[in-house]
Amino acid sequence: MRKRYTGDWQGDLPHGQGTYVYRDGGATYTGSWQKGVRHGKGAHRSEAGVYEGEWFNNRRHGFGVLDLPNGDHFEGTWVEDEREGEGVYFYYDAEKKAHTRRYDGEWVSGTPRCGFYSEMPPDALAPSGVGEPGLPPCELADADRTLAERIGQIRESRARVRAEPAALETLFTPEEMNALSVAFERVDTSGRGEISLEELPLAFAEVAMEPSGEEVLRALAHLGKQEEAATFSFAEFAQAADFLSPVEVELEDRGDW
């Protein structure tokens, strides 16, 4: 027997601060929740590493720090669960028992795209890390200008991807949020905190929305979802509703609410 979740609740879903233990017992998340998904600041620990930082709609999003099992360390920004934007990656040398090199620069979709590598200064607490520099000197003419120009190009091309997402509370009025929440809970009869692609039209119908099949596919693309076996948390359902059309619900016409 193991506790799966300990913390705050709202509407039968984790909401507030809490700790979740995953089924295999080898991974945990401790931090902020919103309507059943990780949202806010929190720490996720597993055999793959430890991430501490910001979350948005169940994904690493914002500033975060990642420590990997091999000792490598990353500090920087994330977008939709991938390293995106400015970041610093520290490389750990197991033989010297110290971080000996680092990369400073821009990341795109989890990959370092433009920046520079450098040797770490000697660490007095790790004498074995002291050694002769191993990186060759930079021979690029006017390296600073070239680097700045390329980073500017990357930031301009990725501006839309890196745009700050809006919190649900800023997208809907309290009445609309309540209507969406009730619609989601009516379809999520099992209380698992998510609905399937087949159930999505039923949830839309509860708030008087009738999107076409083409519009649903556009919403899937907007959320970065694959059509096969797609599921939606409440936050994703609400984002899809906002993407497709403003939600206009007259509560007085729904006496059963």
Whether residues 135 and 173 share a domain: the answer is no
pTM reported for the whole predicted model:
0.67
Tell whether 198 and 217 lie within a shared domain: yes
Residue 220 vs residues 62, 173, 199, 216: alpha-carbon distances, Å:
22, 24, 14, 6
What φ, ψ does residue 109 adopt, rounded to 5°? 50, 45
Tens-place pLDDT, residues 12-38: 888 899 999 987 778 999 999 988 889
- CA dist 41 and 56 (Å) reads 9
Question: Using CA atoms, how far apart are residues 75 and 64, in angstroms rounded to an integer?
Answer: 6
CB 53 within 8 A of CB 29: no
Q: Directed axis angle between helix 213-223 and helix 234-244, to 10°? A: 120
60, 141: one domain: yes
Cα–Cα distance between 62 and 53 in angstroms, integer? Answer: 7
**89 inside domain:** yes
Query: Both 86 and 150 in a single domain?
Result: yes
pLDDT band at 239 (very low <50, low <70, confident <90, very high): confident
By CB atoms closer than 10 A (0-12, 13-18, 19+), residue 1 is exposed
Whether residue 150 sits in one domain with residue 61:
yes
| Inter-CA distances, 111 with 46, 94, 106, Å | 22, 23, 9
Q: Is residue 4 part of a domain?
A: no
* 5 is a domain residue: no
Do 67 and 148 belong together in one domain? yes
Q: Do 174 and 85 have their domain in common?
A: no
pLDDT, tens only, 176-222: 888 888 898 899 888 777 888 889 999 999 999 998 888 888 888 87
Same-domain check for residues 176 and 151: no
CATH number for position 85: 2.20.110
Q: Do 29 and 208 contact (CB within 8 A), yes or no?
A: no
Whether 245 and 195 map to the same domain: the answer is yes
* Tokens 């899937």, residue located: 220
Confirm whether 216 is domain-assigned. Answer: yes
**Last residue of one domain, picked from the residues 157, 177, 203:** 157
3-state secondary structure of 98: strand
SS3 sequence of 127-152: HHHCCCCCCCCCCCCCHHHHHHHHHH
- Residue 248, domain member (yes or no): yes
Asked if pLDDT for residue 130 goes beyond 70, the answer is: no
Tallying the residues shown for the chain, one arrives at 257
- CATH number for the domain spanning 231: value is 1.10.238.10
Residue 138 has pLDDT above 50, yes or no: yes
DSSP 209: -
Summarised one tens digit per residue, pLDDT across range 99-113 is 989 999 999 999 999
The contacts of residue 233 (CB under 8 Å, 6+ apart) are 35, 36, 37, 57, 58, 193, 194
Could you identify the residue written with the tokens 């708030």?
A: 207
Say yes or no: 74 and 54 in one domain.
yes
Number of structural domains (the chain) is 2
Higher-pLDDT residue of 143 and 229 is 143
Final residue before a domain boundary, out of 157, 183, 204: 157
Domain that holds residue 203: 168-253
Do 57 and 153 belong together in one domain?
A: yes
Q: Residue 24: inside a domain, yes or no?
A: no
User: Which of the listed residues 105, 138, 157 is the one where a domain comes to its end?
Assistant: 157
DSSP 213-234: HHHHHHHHHHHT--STT-EE-H
